[in-house]
Structure 1
Amino acid sequence: MPYIAFAVLTGWCAVLSLFDLRHRRLPNALTGWGAFAVFGYALFTTQFTAAAAGAALLAAPYLAVHLVAPASLGAGDAKLAVGLGAAAGLGGAQTWVWAALAGPVFTAGIASVMVVRRWFAPGMRVRRETVAHGLSMCLATLIALAGPSG
């Protein structure tokens, strides 16, 4: 992926991540237009099939989890999976697999740290927190695309 395209993707991910951390939601305008831009880029570079396959393969399990347990994974994460899956698909199969697997691993790591923090601060009043998964999805995709196979 050329540096300019990677920089635009990074900017999109930064805006999405900040919004998700602050509001715990991902707006349709950001996820939809970003996915549209990734597909436009893929069409321009004649890699539309790879982007479509990556998007479908990542969005399907996210959508399934959201439909089964909506409180555990938001609809915004499922919609974000379309754009990020397409972007990771542009990097090839190995890049896509790393991006798809690393996102949930990052989120699980963050959640584990939060649980351990509660254990070691039993007297401290800690509110029940949720983990914004969009940040992990974005980081995983960007790291996978920046790696040697991306």
Structure 2
Amino acid sequence: MARTLAHAEALAEKLRALPAIENKTRPISKAEEIKLLAGEIATLQQRNYSLQQIAQFLTGEGLGISTATLKNYLQRSKAAGKRPTKKRAITAPTGARRTTSQATTAPGPGERAAASALPPAHSDHQVALAAITRPDRERI
């Protein structure tokens, strides 16, 4: 019997319906454990425990960790929760009209000098700014 798209979709639905399996016996790294404990550690810090005291307590409980490593793992766990979305720059297509905000922006000194030193472009391609030749020399 040949498999069909309907069979594959039905199988996908059954796979999605399977319950999650908890594996509490899998080994985890110290960084993962600190990430799981970050909320409890923050609560201890609010109760005026220092990171050194917390690291000593964790070491006594079998999680051998230095204060510096604990601090590093906590910073990583905070950074992992705050991953910013990348913003893409919006660029106008070549030959597009300038908006009023672009038109009112004055060019910088290098742009003005480069624009006056370059001959006008004879193509529709964008031209990179050229180096400016010093007035007392023929070459750069």
- Tell me whether the two structures share a fold, i.e. TM-score over 0.5: no
The structure with the larger Rg is 2
| Greater length-normalized contact order (CA 8 Å, ≥ 6 residues apart) | 1
TM-score by length of 2: 0.24
TM-score by length of 1: 0.23
Q: Which of the pair is proportionally richer in helix?
A: 1
